[in-house]
């Protein structure tokens, strides 16, 4: 490349979002065009076969095996960029809400949070990467014209997010092994919020049905106000269909997406699994509404279980509030003929899309 070539070379516009899950890997490649996020390619690869099990089941692979499978996915999806962001699984982090002394000065507040965080993190603070966010209080925005000052308060609610350095090192090894270059690592719930939650103020519940567990979050003002993990996930739905229908796991995985909870399905077993998930989600919802004296306005489904056919319709009959199935690809430009497919697979790709959207802000 000559000097002039390098001088006028366009800065790379394509970016990649990488979601490393327990049962599969997902990637989404976007580019920025006229201020819009344009979908270039996407792909998913089941990890089960790499660990000697079946598609749809959670695995426990080594970082080297995951790096190899990620390389396979990048090749299959025809990914052309190495520039990426990577998700951090919820299970590899500590997420906790605490009430801490309030300080008007931001630097003083930072000092208070970092000192107090030691009480809530079970390992030395030097061993983790710590982030924190102040949860906006309802009364903080209620100023009158006569009184321009914020209401006096002595406590503030803070969301502490800690990720162990060892866990980050594992992810960094996977990324390096796959030949990628990551500029950030982000907890998966923040990626999901960016991709799937459009409500900026009112409380919304996200039910993320992962392979081995389901995460329920209440999001308010774009911040996690409550989180809870349920030890039941989409692989339990697949296993239930497999047992009741006497079919293989891979056939059951296909049936989950094709029939799911539809009227014509012969398998009632998915409903039994979802009833366990829903009862826990309802308990979390009531806990939040009782403690905060405000209503959750809608529920959004994401994750592998979110692609279960007719889930939205079934959930609407169970919950008495608005229910949506996440459609993260609607935040990207894509050919019209792909829309129905992208809407169908969307819940699985919420994290990867959210990561790619954040990465695109760097371009």
Question: Whole-model pTM?
Answer: 0.89
Q: Which is more confident, 46 or 252?
A: 46
Distance CA 326, CA 333 (A): 16
CB-based burial, 142-174: b 16+ in 10 Å, e otherwise? eeeeeeeeeeeeeebbbbbbbbbeebbebbeeb
Name the burial class of residue 312, with classes exposed (0-12), middle (13-18) and buried (19+) by CB atoms within 10 angstroms of its CB: middle
| pLDDT band per the 50, 70, 90 thresholds, residue 5 | very low
| pLDDT band per the 50, 70, 90 thresholds, residue 334 | very high
The mean pLDDT value for 117-127 works out to 89
| pLDDT band per the 50, 70, 90 thresholds, residue 1 | very low
Q: Locate 348 and state its tokens.
A: 């699985």
Instruction: Catalogue the long-range contacts made by 258-263 (C-beta closer than 8 Å, 24 or more residues apart).
Output: 258/309, 259/309, 260/308, 260/309, 260/310, 260/311, 261/308, 261/309, 261/310, 261/311, 261/313, 261/314, 262/309, 262/310, 263/310
Q: Which is more confident, 96 or 68?
A: 68
Distance CA 357, CA 31 (A): 9
Number of alpha carbons in the 13 Å side-chain half-sphere of residue 111: 6
Asked whether the beta carbons of 55 and 250 are under 8 A apart, the reply is yes
- DSSP class of 16: E
Distance CA 196, CA 213 (A): 19
Q: Locate 344 and state its tokens.
A: 């169908």
Name the burial class of residue 213, with classes exposed (0-12), middle (13-18) and buried (19+) by CB atoms within 10 angstroms of its CB: buried
Percent of the chain with pLDDT over 70: 90
- pLDDT the model gives residue 82: 97
Question: Is residue 220 pLDDT above 60, yes or no?
Answer: yes
The mean pLDDT value for 85-90 works out to 95
Which CATH number is 93-163 given?
3.30.1490.300
Question: Is residue 149 pLDDT above 60, yes or no?
Answer: no
CATH class, domain 9-92+165-360, is: alpha beta
End-to-end Cα distance, the chain: 23
Hey, which residues does 293 pair with through a beta bridge?
A: none
- pLDDT the model gives residue 152: 57
Domain positions in the chain:
9-92+165-360, 93-163
Within its chain, how far is the Cα of 86 from the centroid? 11
Question: Is residue 18 pLDDT above 80, yes or no?
Answer: yes
pLDDT digits (tens, 9 = 90+) for 197-215: 999 889 999 999 988 899 9
Q: Which of 97-106, 249-258, 318-327 has the lowest mean pLDDT?
A: 249-258
Asked whether the beta carbons of 227 and 217 are under 8 A apart, the reply is yes
Same fold flag, 9-92+165-360 and 93-163: no
- pLDDT the model gives residue 278: 92
The mean pLDDT value for 341-350 works out to 95
Question: Is residue 8 pLDDT above 50, yes or no?
Answer: no
- pLDDT the model gives residue 269: 72
- pLDDT the model gives residue 255: 82
Q: Locate 295 and state its tokens.
A: 């209503």
Distance CA 66, CA 185 (A): 17
- pLDDT the model gives residue 268: 60
pLDDT digits (tens, 9 = 90+) for 42-58: 999 999 898 888 887 88
Phi first, then psi, for residue 30 (nearest 5°) are: -120, 160
| pLDDT band per the 50, 70, 90 thresholds, residue 11 | low
- pLDDT the model gives residue 309: 79
- pLDDT the model gives residue 141: 45
Q: Which is more confident, 360 or 114?
A: 360
- pLDDT the model gives residue 140: 47
Q: Give the angle 248-250-251 at the CA atoms, nearest 5°.
A: 65
| pLDDT band per the 50, 70, 90 thresholds, residue 145 | very low
């Amino acid at each position: 490349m000559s000097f002039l070539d390098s001088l006028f070379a366009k800065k790379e516009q394509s970016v990649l979002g990488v979601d490393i899950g327990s049962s599969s890997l997902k990637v989404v490649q976007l580019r920025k065009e006229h201020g819009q996020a344009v979908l270039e390619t996407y792909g998913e690869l089941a990890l089960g076969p790499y660990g000697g099990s079946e598609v749809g089941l959670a695995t426990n692979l080594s970082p080297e095996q995951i790096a190899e499978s990620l390389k396979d996915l990048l090749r299959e999806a025809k990914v052309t960029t190495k520039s990426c962001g990577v998700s951090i699984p919820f299970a590899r982090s500590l997420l906790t809400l605490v009430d801490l002394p309030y300080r008007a000065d931001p630097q003083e507040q930072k000092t208070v949070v970092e000192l107090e965080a030691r009480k809530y993190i079970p390992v030395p603070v030097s061993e983790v990467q710590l982030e924190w966010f102040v949860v906006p209080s309802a009364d903080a925005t209620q100023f009158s014209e006569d009184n321009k000052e914020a209401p006096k308060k002595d406590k503030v609610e803070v969301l502490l997010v800690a990720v162990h350095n060892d866990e980050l090192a594992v992810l960094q090894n996977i990324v390096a092994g796959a030949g990628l270059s990551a500029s950030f690592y982000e907890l998966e719930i923040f990626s999901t919020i960016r991709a799937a939650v459009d409500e900026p103020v009112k409380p919304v519940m996200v039910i993320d049905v992962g392979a081995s567990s389901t995460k329920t979050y209440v999001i308010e003002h774009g911040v996690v106000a409550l989180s809870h993990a349920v030890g039941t996930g989409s692989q339990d739905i697949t296993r239930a269909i497999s047992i009741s229908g006497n079919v293989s796991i891979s056939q059951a995985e296909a049936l989950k997406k094709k029939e799911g909870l539809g009227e014509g399905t012969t398998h009632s077993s998915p409903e039994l699994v979802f009833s366990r998930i829903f009862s826990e989600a309802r308990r979390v919802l009531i806990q939040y509404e009782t403690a905060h004296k405000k209503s959750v306005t809608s529920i959004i489904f994401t994750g592998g279980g979110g692609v279960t056919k007719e889930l939205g319709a079934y959930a609407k009959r169970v919950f008495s509030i608005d229910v949506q199935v996440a459609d993260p690809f609607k935040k990207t430009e894509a050919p019209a003929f792909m829309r129905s497919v992208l809407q169908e697979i969307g819940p699985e790709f919420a994290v990867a899309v959210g990561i790619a959207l954040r990465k695109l802000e760097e371009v």
